[in-house]
A and B are shown apart, each in its own frame.
Chain A
Amino acid sequence: EADIYQTPRYLVIGTGKKITLECSQTMGHDKMYWYQQDPGMELHLIHYSYGVNSTEKGDLSSESTVSRIRTEHFPLTLESARPSHTSQYLCASSPLAGGPNEQFFGPGTRLTVL
């Protein structure tokens, strides 16, 4: 069982609200990721980070922002949620250095914007 946590697991909010999805890992991994996934569909990388104070945009354009002030914490923020943001958001982490390494995923946050 991977030591990576996401809160909340489910969130239903109204349009225009600001939300922050939390992600924490206790494995000391340098690299962290946020993916967006519609049910049964592929994962789309929206943000990633190589370490503290590093944030990069992923392959899929997103209106969300991220921050990495601490190694273990990688929150994702939506300033003004819209129905188009309804999706599942998955956080992951992996070691930075060395050869092939797997990503460990959190359980996900299912977001519904009304």
Chain B
Amino acid sequence: GESVGLHLPTLSVQEGDNSIINCAYSNSASDYFIWYKQESGKGPQFIIDIRSNMDKRQGQRVTVLLNKTVKHLSLQIAATQPGDSAVYFCAENNYGQNFVFGPGTRLSVLP
């Protein structure tokens, strides 16, 4: 069945460095992807999305890259800040079906 998974369960980066969080998905028919950030005790918060007809999308300090050939999604955070510490989830969607979430990567920002 469908599955979305992350390569690394935890990631520690130095403040000011760039962070890269990876996600693999198995459903080649998925056409829409979202990255969520979840801080402790809160619900997931939308960060950035990308459609399958795009390879790259940029937001404020964040960039999402989509490689459909290898079914890989990544989230890049520039100049990581302490406030970026959270669990990050990728989610995929297939033409309006329910979202499938990955297991999450915990990002820790070191001072």
Chain A contacts to B: CB under 8 angstroms: 6, 33, 35, 40-43, 45, 48, 58-59, 90, 92, 99-100, 102-108, 110
Contact = CB atoms under 8 A, between A and B. Distances in A.
A42 B34 contact: no
B98 A42 contact: no
Interface residues of B, number: 23
A42 B101 contact: yes
Contacts of A6: 43
B45 interface: yes
A35 B100 CA distance: 11
Given A45-B98, A100-B51, A40 B106 contact: yes
A58 B36 CA distance: 20
Contacts of B101: 35, 42-43
A100 B53 CA distance: 12
